Structure 1
């Protein structure tokens, strides 16, 4: 037996980007082939797509986890990694996407409407793309970014023009069955309708949809009965129809008190899409006038309801009396609403250019670390995620990028002291303002950066001398080591 599910929580994770490749071209008679590491492929996105053939969120109820494929790693010979394929999830028309805090992210209306629920990570650049005058053959590549992972709430809010509301057993299901081709369950006991029903009505040249929701009872807006769970399905309706049972024998109930109770519940209910249900046009349908006592009661209370400004139509779902007048009256209200409503699917592109003096990051004091600072910004945090911290040259390249962005100067202006902890993207560094980040330096060997040498610059010079000795460039290592703070640099490359 099929189930109707109109609210689910899904866990989506986009694909991670592939790592870049650090490779040097090696071929006979070509000793200076240069870097040829390819870029990593981008991770796949997770996209929600409206499909007119889907009517429930049942699939997500049983399979709430969705994962997109990762991008492939780059390879040598300038071969880029393949990008991950996007994963498309089909959702019904009228699905509302909310985050964990209940904020509406997107209202998906219209067949084919798309929304990127999770973005795939960027692929890392290979060393071929990172080469420059300062780094002719980089010994590192950038890592791929992890894909976005988030928890989302999907709520189905039916796209209907007319919403039928009323007490249980008021005849809502019978009314939608005679107005349209819908075949809801109809029985002689209350709460027969457990899920919303949709029907299509044709009145002359107008065609509109009608939604029937489970019956309301006093206190439904506070969670009593089933009404609160399904009131969201009438939030989009252009007109609300109060279906009133004129043949009820329950004590203390009459058409006027039923309308007052329904109005009170609609006023208390706060739609998630904004606005108020109490502001919608409303029509009162006095049902079951095929019963003689019900007809007399309808004639008695009709003028009182009309005096409130509520259009009243007396109908009988058994004899079909008054149904034609009702269908055309609703069509007129729907057409008037469509004439004033903006066309669905018409999108407006909003451009928000970045200010020329905007740094793209902010420097904040770390509340948990006295004297520490936190750097917030999309680019610095992304650069940190793409850095392989086991490679000194990659860390030096990160320092150069941060310096060019202005992070070093911003920290100095904020009062940062040497050795103070600085956190960027969850990674904490000991800030050293004397490090000449951003200045082109002579790199001694691939994968190393003299500014990050753990044994100071003296050790870097010794490693260079030892390397030259192994290559046979000199007969013996230097007889003396340079003083601390000095760096031996060849003025003219041999």
Structure 2
């Protein structure tokens, strides 16, 4: 059964916004008291948040579809709908968020760091919010915007101070088990370690983390063996420790050639050239291993490496190694910029961006793309002529008609607003002023604003007095 997962594809859906309400206030003697439709609630966001207690992505491996709740619709009496609840997804420290094309969206490091993976839809405005001096009584409301849908990839890159690198069966798991309280699987066959193991080491006043990750073989940087899985987890480590087997039974291998091979794979992978290196010659408790360690140590030191002879089994040289690692880790922490860890990619719009584009396609159709016009279309109730007229006004003010003319559009040409799989298509009829303004501010109840003659006002007041007197006359005391 899978217990550790470090890469998943996640399908997230934010909550949709609630629809606005079209309502007119009514009470006795005032049947048309003005618009009082409330706004719809906003949909909930889907938020990724780093939680130190989470160490794997296994929950999302078993349940990859996640959805936030939607906002409630508005109601009459200026009552706004309730906002949807945000869906907070806990992820391990060191999680990288990518899109389907492999572009990095966020690099989450540090407890509490968060990223909005999908934004909730806006709630639609009620007719009370849409009323203005020009449109006193809108007979329509805006629909809520659907929540964002997104397919993302989560990759876990282990966050540790020290990474143990080396061939399979070089003794990395044994070394981490004696340096820390970690209890990884240890066996005498290659690729025993299939997932990263983390341990905490205390050396004097310094506390640091050490990672034992899957072993390397030639071609690892191209994905051979468990190479790519290994190298991804090495990226975040500040110090690399080469664990070299001095007691290998393979005649074609020796510590120096193993080191050269591992360094070549690190070079091919890229981005690891500036990490401090320490060389550990392991298994010196074996007589032949000790002899080989003493033979190759001068050559390694001549290359500039700090070399330590240890035995994880016999507990030889462990204290010196742990304090040496603590010193290098301290230096790496001091040199690391404080604001370097968390990275969220922001792609701002160009300063001359009009907010939409108009492109004529091969079949002659003019397609309008842009965040505002597409959102306005989604908010429009096309069964309501007043709402369609309001949309026409907004598009005209944004400059869509002007840009269509410049693109060569003529009366009767097809125009689509939105992507191919979800667009509104109509035959374009250019206008000087759009919908609602041409139709005499449609969407208003003119009874709310037309002046009544003085005689009519007197008759209405007298009728109200007569009705009140009749109610008094009909009243029967107990």
TM over 0.5: yes
Alignment root-mean-square deviation, CA: 2.3
Q: Confirm or deny: 8 A CA contact 1:94 1:157 kept in the other structure.
A: yes
Inter-partner Cα distance in structure 1 for 2:6 and 2:241: 22
- Are 1:291 and 2:290 an aligned pair? no
- Are 1:329 and 2:324 an aligned pair? yes
What is the correspondence of 1:186-335 to structure 2 with a 5 Å cutoff? 186-270=186-270, 276-335=271-330
CA displacement at 1:231 relative to structure 2 = 1.9
Structure 1 counterpart of 2:427 = 430
CA displacement at 1:423 relative to structure 2 = 1.8
User: Structure 2: which 5+ residue stretches go unaligned?
Assistant: 446-478
CA displacement at 1:165 relative to structure 2 = 0.9
Q: Confirm or deny: 8 A CA contact 1:134 1:441 kept in the other structure.
A: no
Give CA deviations for 1:350-375 in whole Å, capped at 9, x if unaligned. Answer: 996984x653222222x2332x3222
What is the correspondence of 1:366-385 to structure 2 with a 5 Å cutoff? 367-370=361-364, 372-385=365-378
Q: Residues 446 and 346 from structure 1, CA distance in 2 versus in 1: closer, same or farther, beyond 3 angstroms? A: closer
CA displacement at 1:228 relative to structure 2 = 2.2
CA displacement at 1:249 relative to structure 2 = 1.6
CA displacement at 1:445 relative to structure 2 = 6.5
Inter-partner Cα distance in structure 1 for 2:259 and 2:347: 47
CA displacement at 1:47 relative to structure 2 = 0.7
Structure 1 counterpart of 2:58 = 58
CA displacement at 1:439 relative to structure 2 = 7.3
The TM-score normalised by the length of structure 1 is: 0.84
SS of the aligned residue for 1:317 comes to coil
Structure 2 counterpart of 1:389 = 382
Give CA deviations for 1:217-276 in whole Å, capped at 9, x if unaligned. Answer: 122222222232232111101111110110112111111111111112212224xxxxx1
Inter-partner Cα distance in structure 2 for 1:291 and 1:434: 91
Inter-partner Cα distance in structure 1 for 2:200 and 2:179: 8
Structure 2 counterpart of 1:153 = 153
CA displacement at 1:91 relative to structure 2 = 0.8
Aligned length: 440
Structure 2 counterpart of 1:359 = 354
Choose 311-320 or 164-173, whichever is displaced more: 311-320
Inter-partner Cα distance in structure 1 for 2:290 and 2:168: 20
- Are 1:68 and 2:68 an aligned pair? yes
CA displacement at 1:162 relative to structure 2 = 0.6
The TM-score normalised by the length of structure 2 is: 0.87
Choose 62-71 or 189-198, whichever is displaced more: 189-198
Inter-partner Cα distance in structure 1 for 2:355 and 2:372: 7
Choose 64-73 or 404-413, whichever is displaced more: 404-413
Give CA deviations for 1:65-102 in whole Å, capped at 9, x if unaligned. Answer: 10111111111111111110001111111111111011
Inter-partner Cα distance in structure 2 for 1:207 and 1:291: 31
Q: Confirm or deny: 8 A CA contact 1:42 1:70 kept in the other structure.
A: yes
SS of the aligned residue for 1:309 comes to coil
Q: Confirm or deny: 8 A CA contact 2:10 2:153 kept in the other structure.
A: yes
Inter-partner Cα distance in structure 1 for 2:346 and 2:250: 56
CA displacement at 1:2 relative to structure 2 = 6.3
Q: Confirm or deny: 8 A CA contact 2:17 2:122 kept in the other structure.
A: yes
Q: Residues 19 and 60 from structure 1, CA distance in 2 versus in 1: closer, same or farther, beyond 3 angstroms? A: same
Structure 2 counterpart of 1:457 = none
Higher RCO structure (Cα 8 Å, ≥6 apart)? 2
Inter-partner Cα distance in structure 2 for 1:348 and 1:195: 27
Q: Confirm or deny: 8 A CA contact 1:391 1:447 kept in the other structure.
A: no
Inter-partner Cα distance in structure 2 for 1:404 and 1:165: 62
Give CA deviations for 1:371-408 in whole Å, capped at 9, x if unaligned. Answer: x3222221111111111111111111011111111222
SS of the aligned residue for 2:389 comes to helix
